[in-house]
């Protein structure tokens, strides 16, 4: 069983982030764990570049995904984890040890989109929320866990959560095809993973 974790970019400034992540990730120690890092301030720089230089959507899209790499490298440093760019590489490493792995989203997305009948839209409707969900769908993963800075949107659909800007605009389109989506507010006093959406029949 594989679980994809998406770490919101806003959490990169959270004191004690590494320790909090380890505690939560350890709850899934019997599963394959893959972490997708969010954009946060790095992606905001690309947004500002796009505004100032009037970048086309295609260029801004790939620059934004490339910006995730800096954040991934921070997690490499904080957690002493290895990064992978495809399923085969992850499978090989998990066969050696069961440690969580970080995903090189730029390389993974480039490769997977070349072989996908439904690539991601290349515009600002897609952020790391949708990238993580799309990764979970393509991997495929049994569960997507969203690490966020806000409480779970209780009794809200994916579309309603998107309307409130808790997830990005494209996320509801992918969410309907995922088996299970959970939520974890890492800034909460009591950190817990809560089930949010399920499409199990």
**Alpha carbon distances (Å) from 187 to 11, 23, 199:** 8, 13, 27
CA distance 184 to 161: 15
Helix axes of 57-79 and 128-138: crossing angle, nearest 10 degrees: 80
Judge whether 81 lies within some domain.
yes
For residue 160, being part of any structural domain is answered with no
Average pLDDT over residues 87-96: 96
On whether residue 22 sits in a domain, the answer given is yes
Would residue 5 count as lying in a domain? no
Q: What is the pLDDT of residue 21?
A: 96
pLDDT in tens, 125-138: 999 999 999 999 99
In a domain, 58, yes or no: no
Residue 19 pLDDT: 96
Domain-embedded: residue 184: yes
- Quick one: the chain helix, strand, coil %, rounded to 5? 50, 20, 35
In a domain, 45, yes or no: no
- What's the number of domains the chain is made of? 1
Residue with tokens 């009948």: 117
On whether residue 66 sits in a domain, the answer given is: no
Domain encompassing residue 181: 10-38+71-125+134-151+168-190
**pLDDT tens digit sequence for 51-65:** 999 999 999 999 999
| Residue 10 DSSP class | G
Residue 193's pLDDT is what?
96
pLDDT(156) > 60: yes
Across the chain, the runs of DSSP E, i.e. the strands, are 2-7, 32-37, 82-84, 101-103, 143-148, 180-185, 193-198
pTM here? Answer: 0.95
Residue 72 has pLDDT above 80, yes or no: yes
């Amino acid at each position: 069983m594989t679980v994809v974790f998406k770490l919101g970019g806003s959490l990169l400034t959270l004191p004690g982030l590494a320790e909090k992540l380890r505690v939560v990730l350890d709850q899934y120690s019997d599963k394959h764990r893959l972490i997708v890092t969010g954009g946060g301030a790095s992606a905001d720089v690309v947004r500002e570049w796009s505004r100032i230089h009037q970048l086309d959507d295609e260029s801004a899209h790939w620059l934004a995904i490339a910006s995730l790499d800096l954040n991934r490298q921070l997690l490499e440093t904080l957690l002493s984890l290895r990064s992978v760019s495809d399923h085969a590489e992850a499978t090989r490493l998990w066969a050696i040890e069961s440690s969580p792995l970080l995903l090189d989203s730029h390389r993974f997305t480039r490769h997977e989109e070349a072989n996908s009948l439904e690539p991601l839209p290349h515009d600002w409707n897609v952020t790391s929320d949708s990238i993580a969900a799309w990764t979970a769908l393509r991997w495929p993963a049994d569960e997507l866990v969203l690490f966020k800075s806000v409480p779970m949107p209780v009794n809200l659909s994916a579309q309603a959560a998107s309307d409130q800007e808790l997830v990005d605009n494209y996320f509801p389109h992918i969410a309907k095809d995922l088996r299970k989506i959970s939520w974890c507010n890492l800034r909460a006093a009591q950190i817990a993973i809560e089930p949010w959406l399920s499409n199990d029949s």
